Amino acid sequence: MLVISEEDARVLVSVESAIAAVEKTFAAMARGEARNYPVVREVVGYQDAVFGVKTGCDTSAPILGLKAGGYWPHNLAKGLTNHQSSTLLFDPETGRASALVSANYLTGVRTGAASAIATKYLSRPDSTVLGIIGTGAQSAYQLRATLAVRPIRKVYAWDPSLENIATFGRIVAELGLEYAPQTDCQAVAVNADILITVTPSQRALVEKSWVRAGTHVSAMGADTKGKQELDPALVASAALFVDETAQAITIGECQHAYNAGLITAQSLRGSIGEVIAGFCDGRRTAQEITLFDGTGVALQDLVVADLALRLAAELGLGSRVEY
């Protein structure tokens, strides 16, 4: 079995390669060649932690495995990041464990990749202004991934933490982009061609009236019951796309409009995988508002871990252990 460290994972998997891998597995999901199994997510009852396990298999690759981890809110005081996860890959031919991959960086890069794929297929090609609501650790992944698919020139951003806003601003400046930090979410939303929300919010941060015609929205923060970033009326009025329908209407941004009776499962235009595979339309007009509900699925984690595994084997990285 090969053990791949956090440091090696960062070296091995680029934003661009993650986008390509996740796009391929989204299409495989749409073709019925890849499947995510039911998610386990529970409050631990110790250290205020939340722990989950995501599993799945992509038979087109083939890739089989699981990611386990969650949120430990007191980790920063211990010099660790609050989000901790690891991916265990199995040989699909035999069922034997083949790799243990540190997945903190990979979780960030695969989340950015999913949003960027939605932006690639759903936003207007001439989009140059990015708005980001939430400038924590995930915002850098979102920014870099978006730059891989659209010619962004200016970035508007909001966060309740001035420290986060400043840190994100330094990243934007390093990339040679114009930065416009804002004191409220409305100022971000009204100026954005592409709007990404990536917060742990449990209330609507973006109102329907703030979002201009032609905007693409990637709602990436809601992955648990109760989380919310968008006005349900905005969700109900947009052309809706998801990573996986069952998750979107139960734990994703769509849950609130769904529970309020504003949308049904049939209101969704399709999955992003169906758009990639050519099974459904993406954006139909330059004026419509498109919305991607990215809840995060196991296969995203598995394909980037598999990518790290294959590259590590080629480059002689990682630590091989008897198992």
Q: Residue 62: is the preceding peptide bond cis (ω within 30°)?
A: yes
* pLDDT exceeds 90 at position 51: yes
Arithmetic mean of pLDDT, 38-54:
93
For the domain made up of 122-296, the CATH class stated in words is alpha beta
Alpha carbon 264 to chain centroid distance?
Answer: 23
Helices (H), the chain: 6-12, 15-30, 104-122, 137-147, 162-174, 185-189, 232-237, 245-250, 254-259, 272-277, 298-315
Q: What is the mean pLDDT of the chain?
A: 97
- Whether 67 is catalytic is yes
pLDDT at 41: 87
The rounded percent of the chain whose pLDDT value lies above 90 is 98
Tokens of 91: 């040989």
Q: What is the pLDDT of residues 274-284, one digit of tens each?
A: 999 999 999 99
Q: Which of 67, 78, 225, 227 is catalytic?
A: 67
Please tell me the distance from the alpha carbon of residue 135 to that of residue 157, in angstroms, as a whole number.
Answer: 7
Arithmetic mean of pLDDT, 97-117:
98
Other beta carbons less than 10 A from residue 16's beta carbon: 14
Given pLDDT bands bounded at 50, 70 and 90, which one contains residue 118? Answer: very high
The amino acid at residue 131 is: G
CA angle 34, 39, 42 (to 5 degrees): 165
* pLDDT exceeds 90 at position 303: yes
**125 class by beta-carbon count within 10 Å (0-12 exposed, 13-18 middle, 19+ buried):** exposed
Question: Which CATH code is given to the segment(s) 2-107+299-320?
Answer: 3.30.1780.10
Tokens of 52: 């989950």
* pLDDT exceeds 90 at position 201: yes
DSSP reduced 3-state for 104: helix
CATH 3.30.1780.10 domain position(s) in the chain: 2-107+299-320
CATH 3.40.50.720 domain position(s) in the chain: 122-296
Please tell me the distance from the alpha carbon of residue 95 to that of residue 160, in angstroms, as a whole number.
Answer: 46
Q: Are 291 and 236 in contact (CB under 8 A)?
A: no
Angle 15-30/104-122 helices, nearest 10 degrees?
Answer: 70
Arithmetic mean of pLDDT, 26-52:
95
pLDDT at 323: 86
Residue bearing tokens 């796009």: 23
Arithmetic mean of pLDDT, 78-86:
94
pLDDT at 244: 96
pLDDT at 232: 98
Arithmetic mean of pLDDT, 83-110:
97
Q: What is the pLDDT of residues 137-184, one digit of tens each?
A: 999 999 999 999 999 999 999 999 999 999 999 999 999 999 999 999
The amino acid at residue 212 is: R
